[in-house]
Amino acid sequence: MSLAAKSSLFPTAERSDHNVEWSNCVRRALLVIPRVYVGVILFISDLGKLTRDNPFADEMLQFLRGVATRRASAPYLHFVQLIVIPHASLFSYLIMTGEAFAALSLLTGTLTRVGAAVAGFVFLNYMLSHGRMLWSPDSEDAALVIITVVLFLGRAGRAWGIDSYLAKRWPNSPLW
């Protein structure tokens, strides 16, 4: 690969275009793999919640009652006990709707930044409910939070997604 080709792949301060975004430093096509991966995880998770025999709210309540035994942080535990548990039915629908929206968004590449933000929020709550932090080596939810941040910052829907067409029409929108 020639030096000129390498410099177009990796922008530096020496180049003349001073308005280089982080998302242009790595080929967006590489972000398609984690985008679809997270979308499939969310789709399968949501499908399992929708097709089970007992309502998801019942299973969620049973899980949340064990949050205290999993060393959840005091503020999160307080939030769960005072807000989520009394409104478990509402929160179960919010979780299923959020997972479905994020899954469709990431799989189709439509409103990917919004979908990645929603997915990141969902995975952050899953991580906190298990009493983990971002630096926990045994937390797969922490890894998924980081992946969604990368998808958000990298504008992953602009590669092989509907966002690429939307970005041509409305290039200054922060949504894609």
Residue 124 scores a pLDDT above 70: yes
Six-digit token string for 13: 């301060």
Q: How many helices (H) and strands (E) does the chain have?
A: 8, 0
Six-digit token string for 115: 């979908």
- Does 21 or 93 have the greater pLDDT score? 93
User: What residue spans of 22-80 are helical by DSSP H?
Assistant: 32-51, 56-64, 74-79
Q: b vs e for 50-65, b when ≥16 Cβ sit within 10 Å of the residue's Cβ?
A: eeeeeebbeebbeebe
User: Which of 101-105, 116-120, 121-125, 139-143 bottoms out in mean pLDDT, i.e. has the lowest?
Assistant: 139-143
DSSP 40: H
* Size of the chain in residues: 176
Q: Rounded to an integer, what distance in angstroms lies between the CA atom of residue 131 and that of residue 1?
A: 48
Q: Which residue type occupies 170?
A: W
Over residues 37-83, the pLDDT tens digits come to 999 999 999 999 888 888 888 888 888 887 767 778 888 888 988 99
Q: Rounded to an integer, what distance in angstroms lies between the CA atom of residue 45 and that of residue 156?
A: 21
Q: pLDDT over 90 for what percent of the chain? A: 44
Over residues 94-116, the pLDDT tens digits come to 999 999 999 999 999 999 999 99
For the chain, how big is the Rg over CA atoms in Å? 19
Q: Which residue has the tokens 């949501």?
A: 46
Whose CA is closest to 174, among 131, 113, 132, 122?
Answer: 113
Q: What is the structure's pLDDT at 13?
A: 44
Residue 9 scores a pLDDT above 70: no
For 33, 122, 143, the CA distances from 126, given in Å and listed in that order, are 22, 6, 12
Q: What is the structure's pLDDT at 67?
A: 75
- Does 113 or 135 have the greater pLDDT score? 113
